[in-house]
Chains A and B, each alone.
Chain A
Amino acid sequence: MDKSEIQERVIKVVCQVLNTDKDMVEPSSNFVFDLGAESTQSVQLVAAFEEEFGIEMEGEAALSVQTVGEAADFVAKYVK
């Protein structure tokens, strides 16, 4: 899976979980500051990424990811 596809699917998940329009989400968007993610939603995001990509991520490291772009890079480490 190439990077742009991963990013596309990450943005799709973000929009679903945070109930946000796609045009509000950019790779530089900070989950909390730009997209208003609450602490419980951060956990939901990690779970949704795992389901979307069929992967299992290291929880604490995953929760420390701050932006959409960083999330795509983080997911990419787990996707074959």
Chain B
Amino acid sequence: MDQNKIDGLDSIFYPKSVAVTGVTQTPGTVPYDIFYNILASGYKGVLYPVAPGKKSISAVKAYRYVSDIEADVDLAVIVFPAMVVEKALEMCGKKGVKAAIIISAGFREVGPEGIKREQRIKDICAEYNISLIGPNCLGVINTDPTSMLNASFARKMPSEDRIAFLSQSGALCTAVLDYARGKNIGFSKFVSFGNMAGVTEIDLLHYLHQDEKTDVILLYLEELRDGRGLMEAAKKITRGENAKPILAIKSGRTPQGADAASSHTGSLAGEDSICDAVFREAGIIRVNTLDAMFNAAILLAYQPMPAGNRVAIVTNAGGPGVMATDAAVSWNLDIARFEPKTTAKLQESLPAVANIKNPVDVIGDARSDRYEAALDAVIKDANVDQTLVILTPQSMTDIQEIARGIVKVQEKSNKPMACSFMGASDVQVGVDILERAHIPHYILPELACKAMANVQRICKWRQTDLTDFAPLPVDKAAAQAIIKDLPKGYLREDQALDVLKAYGLPVPEHKLCKNADEAVAFAEKIGYPAVLRVISPQIVHKFDVKGVALGLKNAEQLKKAYEDMVAHIGNVLPEAEITGMLVRGMIPAGHEVILGAKRDPVFGPTLMFGLGGLFVEVFKDVTFALAPIDEGAASRMVREIKAVSILQGARGTKAADMAGIEECLRRLGQMVSDLDRISELDINPLLVGPAEQGSAVADVRIRLDG
């Protein structure tokens, strides 16, 4: 991130002076409330209301224009109606204001006029080097005691905390602030970035990466404008020495967009599926609800990172203990097996009827001493990476004391802990104690397990080896020469195979033959059995018109098949113009997988991989990545599908050539990145045998743009 951007964002979060331009005297209106919130939040700088026609606002001297303020102004918060925002911003630019937050709506979101207005705003910012948040946003909050800025129309200033929240939706922000306050969660920085006419979510992520007050970043997005930029930024932020987790909700799924596409890849590669891939390859943990987001966030912000995925459960209720165990296992957490010394300690300190195995059941009548003893034992166990404490409120359960005991044990530990005091009313006194001590509490143990599982995803991501994309040797010029003068539309099968061949994909020897004699001559050359496939611009689905003949063992069979095919097609589809027949050898049987590519308007070239043939339609077991991909990404793609165990050799079958598939994906990724006329591509199926047999392209469709 360049220094100019950092300075601009410093002026937004840590301004020495703020002018609110367009303030009114009417409480309950956005222009007044923003001014009042800055005043009341304990802002550490100097505040100027710019309110034409008013002498003062809330006893603070008002200015007619921002240019009337004698001193320098770092940040302008513009609350004027959209129609005069340009005038206000231009005046700020002339005054030398470094940054602006435009709260006002009425820009890109309202249609063509608004788009033009927003462009003029961008132009002014560029001319005067103004760092801009908004327009159409709730504002910005910084709880850092050195700033204490609530430049928003949220009702209350949140408490200081280690979590930053970035949102494209303004209205959601107020709900999030209220939700978080209800759970004793605060924020380090809180930004509603609205239309992103200036500062983008990527700029903010970079800034928060360096922000000493932020440990966890939460992001709410409705659209991805620069998926690749986000991926590159997040990769840097979520890994390395100063790694910070990013949890994101991406709403606005658009299946309609996917429906419009024609190929398998096109119909499956909707924006949302690709977004999943972008987030996965960037280390962003995608969640679908605010609950899931905050459940993981508090564990990340308040507790140390676990060394592994082994969890110990301590409970006073057998049923919830089992439910938690089920949930933990289903989310890929391991139930820790205690060391013998832990078991001995538990045996010593718990009643004979207690369950001293994991989940440890301290029994319904347990009081704080029993909880503390059990927790102290399991937390010190070398096989335990994290602990979940469950409580149900019986008549003798000393809820507050137990909560205090948990806090005491946790203070001495460097392993993460989560609690679930099940219920709502009686347990609240204990929950308050836990939350004040920053021990994450969940209303249900299953939610705690899900949060722990999301933390595990982050641990796993940090341990993943990332490699740089290294181009493979290919004949790009040959592929370009094939497609150079071709019109928009689908490539002929032989041409499509030749393009793949130029990029080193395993294509069987083939030839487009114009007559039966030529077909026989070629088959003699490559050897029998041979395959015959009709080539015609009017025939898309060859099998529907009996346009494929397999396993032709000799010249006689081949010749007959050729003539029969021409005759049959002449009868069933007389308008079909037969260009010729593609002759190739038989491909040995193998696993059918699909490799696809699509040029996405937002993300550019994307890749798809999944179980192929008929399965692709039925199971839709596919995964995506942005092209090109490196070795690691190819490996992750192949292992991402549910059916990977089939490829790995389920039930004693021979494993498929996984390395071969990965190489095909890398070559395909390179191809669609190089050849920007390719809009969609399906290799379906790629037949994959064991390593010694390798893979072969059985069918391919490539569509070119104009």
What residues of chain A have their CB less than 8 Å away from a CB belonging to chain B?
18-20, 24, 30, 32-39, 66
Q: Secondary structure of the B side of the interface? A: loop
- Asked if A18 contacts B83 (CB within 8 A), the reply is no
Instruction: Output the nearest chain B residue to A32 by Cβ-Cβ distance.
Output: B84
Bound-state Cα–Cα, A37 to B25, Å = 11
Judging by beta carbons under 8 Å apart, are B88 and A33 in contact? yes
15 contacts between A and B (CB under 8 A): A24-B53, A30-B84, A30-B87, A32-B81, A32-B83, A33-B87, A34-B64, A35-B52, A36-B24, A36-B51, A36-B52, A36-B53, A36-B54, A38-B26, A38-B31
CA distance A33 to B87 in the complex (A): 8
Is B609's beta carbon under 8 Å from chain A?
no
- CB-CB under 8 A from B503, the residues of chain A are none
B478 to chain A, nearest CB (A): 62
Query: Is B87 in contact with A20, judged by CB distance below 8 angstroms?
Result: no
A33 touches B26 (CB 8 A): no
A44 to chain B, nearest CB (A): 13
Count the A-B residue pairs with Cβ separation under 8 angstroms: how many? 34
When the two chains form their complex, are residues B53 and A19 in contact, meaning their CB atoms are under 8 A apart? yes
Contact in complex: B84, A38 (CB < 8 Å): no
Report the minimal beta-carbon distance from B648 to chain A, rounded to whole angstroms.
66
Indicate if B80 sits at the interface (CB-CB under 8 A): yes
The CA-CA distance from A20 to B51 in the complex, in Å, is 13
Select the residue from A19, A20, A24, A38 with max chain B CB neighbours within 10 A: A38
In the complex, B29 has a CB within 8 A of chain A: yes
The residues in B between 35 and 87 inclusive whose CB is less than 8 angstroms from any CB of A are 51-54, 64, 80-81, 83-84, 87
> CA of A34 to CA of B80 in the docked complex: distance in angstroms?
11
Contact present for B26 and A32 (CB under 8 Å): no
Minimum C-beta distance from A1 to chain B (A): 28
Within the complex, what minimum Cβ distance (angstroms) separates B95 from chain A?
15
- Tell me, in angstroms, the Cα distance from A34 to B53 when the chains sit together: 8
Cα separation A33 to B82 with both chains bound (whole Å) = 11
Inter-subunit contact B53/A35 (CB<8 Å):
yes
Q: Which of B31, B52, B84 has the most CB of A within 10 A?
A: B52
Docked-complex contact B83 and A66, CB < 8 angstroms:
yes
B:15-38 near A, CB below 8 Å: 22, 24, 26, 29, 31
A33→B52 contact, CB < 8 A = yes
In the bound complex, residues from chain B placing their C-beta under 8 Å from that of A33 are 52, 80, 84, 87-88
| Residue ranges of B at the interface with A (Cβ–Cβ < 8 Å) | 22, 24, 26, 29, 31, 51-54, 64, 80-81, 83-84, 87-88
Q: In the assembly, what is the distance between CA of A32 and CA of B21, in Å? A: 11
What are the 6 tightest A-B residue pairs by CB atom distance, in nearest-first order? A36-B53, A36-B52, A33-B84, A38-B24, A32-B84, A33-B87
Q: Which B residues lie within 8 Å of A39 (CB)? A: 81
Residues of A within 8 A of B52 (CB): 33-36
Task: Across the interface, name the chain B residue whose C-beta is closest to A66.
Answer: B83
Chain B residues lying within 8 Å of A38, measured Cβ to Cβ, are 24, 26, 29, 31
Starting from the known contacts A32-B81, A34-B64, A38-B26, 14 additional A-B residue pairs (CB-CB under 8 Å) come to A20-B53, A24-B53, A30-B87, A32-B83, A33-B52, A33-B80, A33-B88, A34-B52, A36-B52, A36-B53, A36-B54, A36-B64, A39-B81, A66-B84
- A7 CB to nearest B CB, Å: 20
For A18, list chain B residues within 8 Å (CB).
53
| Cβ–Cβ < 8 Å partners of B22 in chain A | 32
| Cα separation A33 to B52 with both chains bound (whole Å) | 7
Give A52 to B312 CA distance when docked, in angstroms: 81
Residues of A close to B26: CB separation below 8 A: 38
**Interchain CA distance A19-B54 in the complex, whole Å:** 9
Closest A residue by C-beta to B85: A33
**For the complex, what is the distance from the CA of A20 to the CA of B24, rounded to whole Å?**
15
Specify the chain B residue showing the minimal Cβ separation from A30: B84
Contact A32 B80 (CB under 8 A): yes
Give the complex CA separation of A38 and B79 in angstroms: 11
- Give complex CA distance A74, B26 in Å: 29
Question: Which residues of the other chain, B, contact A20 by a CB distance below 8 angstroms?
Answer: 53
Alpha-carbon gap, A33 to B79, bound state (A): 11
Contacts of B53 in A (CB 8 A): 18-20, 24, 35-37
* Residues in A whose Cβ lies below 8 Å from that of B24: 36, 38
| Residues of A contacting B51 in the complex (Cβ-Cβ under 8 angstroms) | 36
